[in-house]
Amino acid sequence: MNNSVNIFSVKGMTCDGCAQTIKTKLELESEISKADISYSSTKLIIHSSKKYKTEELNKIIESVGNYTFGIEKNVNSLTSLFLYFRTYKPIFISLSFVVILSIISSFNEAFNIKDFLRFFMGYFFIIFSFLKLHNVRQFSISFSNYDPITKKIPNFGLIYPFIELILGTLFLLNFFTLLINFATIVILLPQTYGIYNKLMKKEKILCACLGTSFEIPLSKLTIIENLTMCSMATIMIVIFFNSSL
């Protein structure tokens, strides 16, 4: 699914409530994943799976008020990248901390890829689990929207942040290496499958990877995160068995 980002000017708004009305109406469209609109700047930024023309947008919102959209402005690659980063900034910042801490921790006399993978997975689980622990019950509700295990076992969502915390601690301590790598794959693969299904159905739900403190749309970025972790776990398992030979 190709994402398009376009900017429009908006006329007819008289308050922040107007902006919220337009946003709500537009996000009911299956092709629109997110609509950012500001009364103060009179600008609308649409993230969608198709490129909308002003005529199409005007027709969509004609039932909610006397609003009109101005000439569209296609966003260039650099601006599109900036807007994408702004939307998922909390995730990128968290991952940056994970990478920096992993690089620092994995240097002894020389860089060690095995230690880097272990530290990356450890810091990833610990940092992301802390954010989930801020409101475990609300996280569990949000997580159940796409995690197959939590759908079948509701209480799994309540203990999931603690599972991540334990896994992260064991990775950093280098304990039970084989077990924790298999556990990583077992909990992340079903979750990834659930996310993929939601994206294919174009359902608009929030990602719970950072808990519920941030309103981040569920996207392919979470799939990439999970598959990266599963790949690292697989590499660690291969290294474990090779070193045992």
pLDDT at position 39: 81
Express each pLDDT in 208-237 by its tens digit. 999 988 888 888 999 999 999 999 999 999
Say yes or no: 220 and 108 in one domain: yes
Residue 92 shares a structural domain with residue 41? no
Which pLDDT value is given to residue 102?
95
Say if residue 134 is in the same domain as residue 225.
yes
From 65, 83, 101, give the residue that closes a domain.
Answer: 83
User: Per the structure, how many domains does the chain have?
Assistant: 2
Pair 70, 96 in one domain: no
The 3-class secondary structure across the chain, one letter per residue, is: CCCEEEEEEEECCCCHHHHHHHHHHHCCCCCEEEEEEECCCCEEEEEECCCCCHHHHHHHHCCCCCCEECCCEECCHHHHHHHHHHHCHHHHHHHHHHHHHHHHHHECCCECHHHHHHHHHHHHHHHHHHHHHHHHHHHHHHHCCCCHHHHHCCCHHHHHHHHHHHHHHHHHHCCCHHHHHHHHHHHHHHHHHHHHHHHHCCCCCECCEEEECCCCECCHHHHHHHHHHHHHHHHHHHHHHHHHC
Query: pTM for the whole thing?
Result: 0.74
Same domain, 72 and 97: no
Residues 72 and 131 placed together within one structural domain of the fold: no
Pair 144, 104 in one domain: yes
Same domain, 96 and 172: yes
Question: Do 79 and 93 fall within a single domain?
Answer: no
Averaged pLDDT score across all residues of the chain: 89
Question: Can you give the pLDDT at residue 43?
Answer: 83
190 with 69, same domain: the answer is no
| Domain extent for 67 | 4-83
Indicate whether 117 and 176 sit together in one domain: yes
Task: Indicate the residue among 32, 60, 83 that finishes a domain.
Answer: 83
Mean pLDDT per 10-residue interval, the chain, length 245 residues: 73 90 91 85 83 88 89 61 83 96 85 91 98 94 95 95 98 96 98 94 87 88 96 96 79
Domain shared by 71 and 92, yes or no: no
Question: Which of the listed residues 83, 111, 137 is the one where a domain comes to its end?
Answer: 83
Tell me what pLDDT residue 1 has: 47
